Chain A
Amino acid sequence: MSCMGSQFEYPSHLQQSYDDDGDVKKRPAKPLSHHALVVLRVSLGVALTSLVCPVCPAWAQGAAPPADVTPPVVIDHVDPVYPASALPEQKHADVVLALTVDVDGHVSKTDVLQSGGADLDEAAIIAAREWTFTPAMRGGKPVASRIKVPFHFAPPAQPPEVVETKRPADELPVHPSVQPAPISAPAPSNTSALPEGVPPPPGAPAPAESPPGDATGVSEVNVRGRLAARSHGTSDYEMTLGELKAIPRTNASDALKLAPGFLLTNEGGSGHAEQVFLRGFDAHEGQDLEFTVDGVPLNDAGNYHGNGYADTHFIIPELIHSVRVLEGPYAPQQGNFAVAGSADYQLGLDRRGLTTEYSVGSYGTQRLLLLWGPNDAPSGTFAGAEYYTTAGFGTNRQAKRGTAIGQYELPVGQKGTLRLNATAYTTEYDNAGVVREDDYAAGKVGFYGTEDPAQTGNDSSRVSLSATYESRFNDIDVSQQVFVIDRTMRLRENWTGFLLDVQEPTQEPHDQRGDLIDFHFDELTAGARGFARWHGNVLGLRQEYEGGYFARFDQTHSTQDRVAAGSNAPYQVDADLASTLGDIGLYVDGNVHVLPWLGLRGGVRADMFLFDVLNNCDVQSVDNPSKASPEIDVSCLSELEHGVYREPFQRSTTGSGAVMPRGTLVVGPTEHFEFTASVGNGIRSVDPSYVSQGLATPFVSVQSRDVGVSYEREIGTYASIAAKSVFFQTHVDEDLIFDPTQGRNTLAGGSSRTGWSGSTRVLGSFFDVAANATLVRAVFDETGACAPSCGLLVPYIPDLVLRGDAVLFHELPWRFDHKPIRATLGYGVSYVGRRPLPYGDVSDVIFLSDASLGVGWSVWNVRLVAQNLLDSRYRLGEYNYASDFHKLLPEPTLAPERSFTAGAPRTIMLSLSATLGGA
Chain B
Amino acid sequence: MRRRGALFGFGMAALAAGACNGTTGDELIPRFAVYAAGAPGASEPFTAGGFTIQLTKAKMHIGALYFDESPPSTGFDSPICIAAGIYAAQVPGPADVDLLSTAPQEFSVYGNGTADTALSWQIWLTDGDINEPNTAQMVDLEGVATRISDGAEFSFGAVVTINDDNRLPTTSDPSQPGLNPICKERIVQIGGIDVAFFPGGTLYVTVDPRGWFKLNLDFSTLPLGTSASCAGNSPGPAYCIPDTSFATGAGATQGQNLFTGILTAGPAAYSVRYSN
A632 touches B177 (CB 8 A): yes
Look across to chain A and name the residue whose beta carbon is closest to the beta carbon of B114: A839
**A838 at the binding interface (Cβ < 8 Å):** yes
Tell me which of B12-20, B227-235, B243-251 binds A. B12-20
A792 touches B28 (CB 8 A): no
Q: Contact mask A877-919 → B, CB, 8 Å, 1/0?
A: 0001010000001111111111000000000000000000000
**A841 at the binding interface (Cβ < 8 Å):** yes
**A506 at the binding interface (Cβ < 8 Å):** yes
Q: Which of A97-130 contact B (CB under 8 A)?
A: none
A777 touches B22 (CB 8 A): yes
- Chain A residue numbers with a CB within 8 Å of B114 are 839, 895-896
B28 touches A839 (CB 8 A): yes
A775 touches B25 (CB 8 A): no
* C-alpha gap A630/B114 in the complex (Å): 42
**A20 at the binding interface (Cβ < 8 Å):** no
* C-alpha gap A643/B22 in the complex (Å): 51
B19 touches A755 (CB 8 A): yes
Partner of A880, one of B23, B28, B127: B28
A511 touches B132 (CB 8 A): yes
Least Cβ distance of A391 to chain B in Å?
Answer: 35
- Chain B residue numbers with a CB within 8 Å of A892 are 64, 82, 92, 130
**A366 at the binding interface (Cβ < 8 Å):** no
* C-alpha gap A838/B114 in the complex (Å): 10
A897 touches B81 (CB 8 A): no
Q: Contact mask A839-852 → B, CB, 8 Å, 1/0?
A: 11100000000000
Least Cβ distance of A729 to chain B in Å?
Answer: 11
Look across to chain A and name the residue whose beta carbon is closest to the beta carbon of B28: A839
- Chain A residue numbers with a CB within 8 Å of B63 are 890-891
**B109 at the binding interface (Cβ < 8 Å):** yes
A792 touches B16 (CB 8 A): no
Given known contacts A799-B19, A894-B87, A894-B90, A841 and B181 CB-to-CB distance under 8 angstroms: no
Look across to chain A and name the residue whose beta carbon is closest to the beta carbon of B171: A505
Tell me which of A175-183, A496-504, A670-678 binds B. A496-504
B24 touches A777 (CB 8 A): no
B22 touches A506 (CB 8 A): no
A895 touches B175 (CB 8 A): no
A503 touches B183 (CB 8 A): yes
Partner of A775, one of B19, B92, B174, B176: B19
Least Cβ distance of B91 to chain A in Å?
Answer: 9
B132 touches A890 (CB 8 A): no
A503 touches B24 (CB 8 A): no
Q: Which of A505-529 contact B (CB under 8 A)?
A: 505-512
Given known contacts A755-B15, A756-B12, A836 and B80 CB-to-CB distance under 8 angstroms: no
Least Cβ distance of B179 to chain A in Å?
Answer: 4
- Chain B residue numbers with a CB within 8 Å of A756 are 11-12, 15
Q: Contact mask B1-33 → A, CB, 8 Å, 1/0?
A: 000000000011001101110111111100000
B15 touches A630 (CB 8 A): no
Count chain A residues whose beta carbon lies closer than 8 angstroms to a beta carbon of B: 55
Least Cβ distance of B55 to chain A in Å?
Answer: 28
B93 touches A890 (CB 8 A): yes
A504 touches B28 (CB 8 A): no
**B131 at the binding interface (Cβ < 8 Å):** yes
Partner of A777, one of B15, B112, B124, B173: B15
**B178 at the binding interface (Cβ < 8 Å):** yes
* C-alpha gap A512/B131 in the complex (Å): 8
**B182 at the binding interface (Cβ < 8 Å):** yes
- Chain B residue numbers with a CB within 8 Å of A841 are 24, 27-28
**A776 at the binding interface (Cβ < 8 Å):** yes
Count chain B residues whose beta carbon lies closer than 8 angstroms to a beta carbon of A: 53
B27 touches A754 (CB 8 A): no
A898 touches B28 (CB 8 A): yes
Look across to chain B and name the residue whose beta carbon is closest to the beta carbon of A623: B176
- Chain A residue numbers with a CB within 8 Å of B215 are none
Given known contacts A839-B28, A895-B88, A897-B112, A890 and B174 CB-to-CB distance under 8 angstroms: no
* C-alpha gap A632/B175 in the complex (Å): 7
**A825 at the binding interface (Cβ < 8 Å):** no
**B257 at the binding interface (Cβ < 8 Å):** no
- Chain A residue numbers with a CB within 8 Å of B22 are 777, 779, 791-793, 836
B25 touches A838 (CB 8 A): yes
- Chain B residue numbers with a CB within 8 Å of A791 are 22
Least Cβ distance of B87 to chain A in Å?
Answer: 4
Look across to chain A and name the residue whose beta carbon is closest to the beta carbon of B177: A508
* C-alpha gap A882/B84 in the complex (Å): 13
* C-alpha gap A510/B173 in the complex (Å): 17
* C-alpha gap A775/B21 in the complex (Å): 13
* Best-buried of A505, A631, A788, A838 by chain B (most CB within 10 Å): A505
A893 touches B81 (CB 8 A): no
Look across to chain B and name the residue whose beta carbon is closest to the beta carbon of A898: B28
**B259 at the binding interface (Cβ < 8 Å):** no
**B196 at the binding interface (Cβ < 8 Å):** no
**B242 at the binding interface (Cβ < 8 Å):** no
* C-alpha gap A799/B23 in the complex (Å): 12
B178 touches A504 (CB 8 A): yes
B23 touches A792 (CB 8 A): yes
Partner of B82, one of A499, A630, A755: A499
Partner of B24, one of A504, A632, A727, A795: A795
Partner of A890, one of B26, B128, B178: B128
A893 touches B90 (CB 8 A): yes
Least Cβ distance of A511 to chain B in Å?
Answer: 4
* C-alpha gap A777/B179 in the complex (Å): 48
**A13 at the binding interface (Cβ < 8 Å):** no
- Chain B residue numbers with a CB within 8 Å of A776 are 19
Look across to chain A and name the residue whose beta carbon is closest to the beta carbon of B197: A895
B176 touches A506 (CB 8 A): yes
**A323 at the binding interface (Cβ < 8 Å):** no
A503 touches B16 (CB 8 A): no
Given known contacts A630-B174, A777-B18, A777-B22, A502 and B82 CB-to-CB distance under 8 angstroms: yes
* C-alpha gap A795/B26 in the complex (Å): 13
Least Cβ distance of A504 to chain B in Å?
Answer: 6
**B126 at the binding interface (Cβ < 8 Å):** yes
A839 touches B26 (CB 8 A): yes
- Chain B residue numbers with a CB within 8 Å of A625 are 175-176
* C-alpha gap A504/B89 in the complex (Å): 25
**B113 at the binding interface (Cβ < 8 Å):** yes
B175 touches A630 (CB 8 A): yes
- Chain B residue numbers with a CB within 8 Å of A889 are 92-93, 109
Q: Which of B116-131 contact A (CB under 8 A)?
A: 124, 126-131
**A15 at the binding interface (Cβ < 8 Å):** no
Least Cβ distance of B222 to chain A in Å?
Answer: 32
Partner of A891, one of B67, B92, B112, B177: B92
Given known contacts A504-B79, A793-B23, A839-B24, A895 and B178 CB-to-CB distance under 8 angstroms: no
**A136 at the binding interface (Cβ < 8 Å):** no
Look across to chain A and name the residue whose beta carbon is closest to the beta carbon of B80: A502
Look across to chain B and name the residue whose beta carbon is closest to the beta carbon of A437: B30
- Chain B residue numbers with a CB within 8 Å of A555 are none
- Chain A residue numbers with a CB within 8 Å of B81 are 502-503
Q: Which of B49-83 contact A (CB under 8 A)?
A: 63-64, 66-67, 78-82
- Chain B residue numbers with a CB within 8 Å of A898 are 28
**B225 at the binding interface (Cβ < 8 Å):** no
Interface residues of B (CB under 8 A from A): 11-12, 15-16, 18-20, 22-28, 63-64, 66-67, 78-82, 87-90, 92-94, 109, 112-115, 124, 126-132, 173-179, 181-183
New A-B pairs, 12, CB < 8 Å, besides A510-B178, A756-B12:
A503-B178, A509-B131, A632-B175, A756-B15, A777-B22, A792-B22, A792-B23, A834-B20, A836-B22, A839-B115, A840-B27, A890-B129
Instruction: Provide 23 A-B residue pairs closer than 8 Å at the C-beta atoms, listed in order of the A residue.
Output: A503-B183, A504-B79, A504-B80, A505-B176, A506-B178, A507-B177, A508-B177, A509-B177, A509-B181, A627-B175, A791-B22, A792-B23, A793-B23, A800-B16, A840-B26, A841-B24, A889-B92, A890-B128, A891-B63, A892-B130, A894-B66, A895-B88, A896-B87
A-B complex: 6 closest residue pairs judged by Cβ atoms? A840-B27, A630-B175, A511-B131, A799-B19, A505-B176, A891-B64
